[in-house]
Structures are given as structure tokens and as C-alpha cells.
Structure 1
Amino acid sequence: MADLKYYDIILKPVVTEKSMEVMADRKYTFLVHPEATKTQVKEAVEKMFEGTKVEKVNTMNNIGKVKRRGMTFGKTAKTKKAIVKLTEGSKEIDFFEGM
């Protein structure tokens, strides 16, 4: 496995209706590096967003879909999504405040 730094782990936040609804329960959704583990995701969130304490991390792997363009077949990239739950005494993630 590659040597991943904390700033390489979290790629971007996921902004969907469902992810916005679970923010009320202090759960935030991110696209993460496909080789990242749960402990690496936890450390990355705590280092990138000061004052946050992670209680739990749930991850899911999405396989790439087969797409066709004319007679040519290809495959989209595989992705990994992480849902991070913060503790009660933790500070909110400021990135999502205006959404």
C-alpha cells in the first residue's frame, strides 16, 4: 500500500440530499482515497478540521460501472466513500456551514 499523508486521504465532500439530511446527526460524507483505512480517515479528519473528534467511521466501496460509447466499452473509476460521525463535544466542520 502506498504511503498516504492525511491531506491525500480526503478527496472531496459529498453534497447530496441524503448527505445533507444526516448532517443533523453530526455525520459528514467524504470521497476518500480507495486504499485508505478507517483509522487513516479518522486521523485525516481530526488533523484537517481543528477541534473535531471522530466517534465512528463507516466506509463503502463503489465499483466502476461499465459504460459504452458507440462500439467502445470502458469502465468508470472505482471510488470509496466514508461517513464520519463526530462526538457530541466535538466542533462542527466549518466547510459545510453555508450549505
Structure 2
Amino acid sequence: MKNPRDIIKRPIITEQTSDFMANKKYVFEVDLRANKTEIKLAIQQIFKVKVTTVNTLRMPAKPKRYGKHSGYTSEWKKAYVQLSADSNELEFFESV
């Protein structure tokens, strides 16, 4: 099994994801090759909570320009993680 900290890269904190936190739903950037089961197990091991659902989506690469040079941003994957009702909120997000 992969290291859980290699699967979960970073949390995504925006205004919209802050509203999700009231319903115990959190958003993370995850490894492109990770599947829903691996993400669920990684969150459960790192934060010691129970996960009910995981929804994932791939964010496509976008074209960017810098002067006369053009290229693309990296493609990445994000996961919406719903915790169970009896789970504690994640300590990582309490200061937000």
C-alpha cells in the first residue's frame, strides 16, 4: 500500500470549501493515480475519522501565456470527502 501522505497532497481552502466544512465535507488535492478507496483509507489513517463518501474529479490543464511564450498548467485531481455524522471535525481546518 502507498504512504497516505503521498496520496493526499494538500487541502484546498476557498470560500466555497469553507461553506462545505459546516456539513463535514472537505476538499483535498490528491495524487492523479489515486482511486477513491485509496483516498478514503488515507484520510482515515491520517486524521483518525470515518469517511462515508469520496467524490473525485480531474481538473484539466489550462493554456497560459507569459509574454510571447505559451504553455499549459499541470493537470491535477481533487477529492471531496464526506465524513460520517459521528466523526469529529478535522483539527487541520479549525483555524479557518
Note the C-alpha offset of 1:7: 1.2
- What residue number does 1:6 align with? 4
RMSD of aligned alpha carbons: 1.1
Q: Which runs of 5+ in 1 are unaligned?
A: none
Counterpart CA distance in 1 for 2:57 and 2:45 is 22
* TM-score calculated relative to the size of structure 1: 0.92
- What residue number does 1:90 align with? 87
- What residue number does 2:16 align with? 18
Deviation string 1:10-47 (CA, Å, 9 cap, x unpaired) is: 10000100000011111001011111100010000000
Counterpart CA distance in 2 for 1:58 and 1:20 is 17
Note the C-alpha offset of 1:78: 0.5
Deviation string 1:52-78 (CA, Å, 9 cap, x unpaired) is: 000000111001101122222211001
Task: List structure 1 runs of 4+ shifted beyond 4 angstroms.
Answer: none
| Structure 2 residue identity aligned to 1:53 | K
Q: Which runs of 5+ in 2 are unaligned?
A: none
Paired positions, count: 96
* TM-score calculated relative to the size of structure 2: 0.94
